[in-house]
Structure 1
């Protein structure tokens, strides 16, 4: 392919995604749906002209992993632990954990009944569908009130982390359940220790490096930490979250004389630049991930009646279990948070990471994309309806 044409295609993809974000902010139609539709359309065009994008099966999980790291880092950089938020954080943590467990067991039950698979394999396959996508949820609630918006930010970010940790527990190679639990506990302690060391080292670099290029090397170092951790079956994504939380809440960890070594007068400005770079990098990776995921989907899979039936059952399970988890942890009106449970990049990436021996037999390929689309559309309708009702109420107030 001509180099100039390739540059035009890649640059156009970024501009189209940016346009989708602008459209999404006005119409509340999730940009992920538009990107998936564009990817499917590109597949039809390339098939017509007999052209194929090479190495899709390698590019897709690689982009997904990089995007996941950046999304978790972005989420950690958005979370503030100060200001008396401890009870609020614990409540969102409880909601995220309870929601994942309930959803996982109900969906596993659906797979077990419909496909006749053993229940453990059904649980492993169900885990990706139990995780809320912060990459889709957070941008979709920008127009809500501060309390609901903050809850979604915390809950979806924690759902990503907890879902990944739970998935690693289920597929980690070990003998008995107790051996798996002990191994996971040891690895978590090790990751936390490594994370704290990395946090101070990277914080020192942020505050001391005077070279005009400083943030990409730091992000690259985080990629290496994640990859090395994965090679040794560690919960390395936890290290990314810890770093994000640490950098955004340094006033809790860096006090007294430590400030002289790890912070400077320009730190707040440096932190904001780091956040901007992380957000824009995540945006680019997310753009190409969903475009390629849409491209990799055969349109005939989306017309499969069985896939639609299972996807609708999964949607009902997601909303039903979410109602139970929110009712147990929150007070007051649950709208529209009840329906803000989109599946996205984390779901796709975890599903692609399921070892062959754990994937349920007979799983329809179209279920994954249909579930992503349906949960996003339900969220869109709920958010738009809620804002419309709120506007009407404010207009009717004398």
Structure 2
């Protein structure tokens, strides 16, 4: 019976990945986020199979999967960031909006949590608010492929920076909970970030120089295993381990900038370029698998009774209205006119789930339902889908107008040419 159960698990895992891939294709055609479809599938599978979801039994596997997921998300995001002079303004604007949105959403939602849930101190409310304040690059990046280049790049940078800043903000807060006094907290944060940055740069150079010399074909998972090892060891020493992953990704992607001058002789560009292509593929594929199982498991953990709670519905409405109103105001002030559909593209997703499960046990509250996570993910994803569909229709309409004008011009030219020939023949 145990052997049969193992086969059922293997079949189920394979089916989930295949279905997730099909959902991605459907999302590209319809702009309906695959996240929603995976959550619904998880819920329907649980209801159909009569499966009882026990959070205590799933916590350790989810925590391990969450650690790997965080590393993959930050690494994938860092490998998409090009440090080029011509993109400094774009990076600056996207970073400004990501930072303003993160801190506004965090404290705006924290006040809402205290009001609607009650009996919470401000620190606990902020810890619960941070995961929902972060825009998910895991959803944004594959969803904006059809947007104009400038808008697409802006949203990729904004969501990536939001991910990175949000994760760092969350862990810096959680890891300094026992520290007394704002001055001591500030000193700890500065020394931690400073020490981590120095260590990260040294490790990044060492890893790139070492791995470009490996001749074996089997090295990508070794590469990734070393990163996980550094992350875990850094956590044990209370370092900002995600900053290590971020710095490594930036150095690897922008190696020509970091290996300049006398350091250039230590860089074998052809070897690194060949490894980087495969490493990006590994990161992207692994991130896809982690996202698939996380959203499916989230669907299995949801109970409709926990969603349709009046306080949860009101809190979600409060948060969604405030978040999009703030985004509209900021985008209007900065971009003046051309800010659609960007201001409506701010989905919550995998990062929110991962950080939610990473909240320390002493801060867990029974009153905070998973329904707020589900509703925030679904509603923000629906807004994004609606904006992308409208943008696609608008672009299609403009394209039709351009084609009709082109046809009219060509028709006019044809009539002129015929009249000219008739005159020449008559002469």
Partner of 1:182: 187
Partner of 2:420: none
Output the CA distance in 1 between the equivalents of 2:330 and 2:60: 37
Higher relative contact order (CA 8 A, sep 6+): 1
Asked whether 1:148 is paired with 2:151, we answer yes
Partner of 1:17: 20
Output the CA distance in 2 between the equivalents of 1:237 and 1:325: 28
Q: Which moved more, 1:217-226 or 1:265-274?
A: 265-274
Asked whether 1:273 is paired with 2:275, we answer no
Of 113, 116, 124, the residue aligned with 1:114 is 116
Check whether the contact 1:200–1:262 (CA below 8 A) recurs between aligned residues: no
**Shift of residue 386, structure 1, vs aligned partner:** 1.2
Partner of 1:84: 86
Please list every run of 5 or more consecutive structure 2 residues that lacks an aligned counterpart in the other structure: 406-427
Of 22, 39, 43, the residue aligned with 1:40 is 43
Check whether the contact 2:172–2:240 (CA below 8 A) recurs between aligned residues: no
Output the CA distance in 1 between the equivalents of 2:64 and 2:304: 23
How many residue pairs get aligned? The number is: 397
**Shift of residue 142, structure 1, vs aligned partner:** 0.7
Partner of 1:325: 330
Output the CA distance in 2 between the equivalents of 1:266 and 1:216: 17
**Shift of residue 53, structure 1, vs aligned partner:** 9.7
**Shift of residue 309, structure 1, vs aligned partner:** 2.3
Output the CA distance in 1 between the equivalents of 2:263 and 2:8: 52
Asked whether 1:307 is paired with 2:309, we answer no
Q: Measured at CA, do residues 163 and 221 of structure 1 come closer, stay the same or move farther in structure 2, by a change above 3 Å? A: same
Please list every run of 5 or more consecutive structure 1 residues that lacks an aligned counterpart in the other structure: none
Output the CA distance in 2 between the equivalents of 1:57 and 1:331: 46
1:53-80 CA-partner distances (Å, limit 9, x unpaired): 9932222232122112111111111111
Output the CA distance in 2 between the equivalents of 1:277 and 1:169: 29
Q: Measured at CA, do residues 234 and 51 of structure 1 come closer, stay the same or move farther in structure 2, by a change above 3 Å? A: closer
Check whether the contact 1:94–1:329 (CA below 8 A) recurs between aligned residues: no
Output the CA distance in 2 between the equivalents of 1:167 and 1:178: 19
Which consecutive segments of 4 or more residues in structure 1 shift more than 4 A?
A: 50-54
Asked whether 1:379 is paired with 2:384, we answer yes
Partner of 2:77: 75
Partner of 2:294: 289
Check whether the contact 1:124–1:359 (CA below 8 A) recurs between aligned residues: no
**Shift of residue 394, structure 1, vs aligned partner:** 2.4
Matched ranges for 1:1-398 at <5 A: 1=2, 2=4, 3-47=6-50, 55-116=57-118, 117-171=120-174, 172=176, 173-359=178-364, 362-397=367-402, 398=405
Check whether the contact 2:136–2:347 (CA below 8 A) recurs between aligned residues: yes
Q: Measured at CA, do residues 51 and 161 of structure 1 come closer, stay the same or move farther in structure 2, by a change above 3 Å? A: closer
Check whether the contact 2:117–2:311 (CA below 8 A) recurs between aligned residues: no
Check whether the contact 2:53–2:301 (CA below 8 A) recurs between aligned residues: no
**Shift of residue 188, structure 1, vs aligned partner:** 0.5
**Shift of residue 360, structure 1, vs aligned partner:** 5.9
Output the CA distance in 2 between the equivalents of 1:313 and 1:233: 36
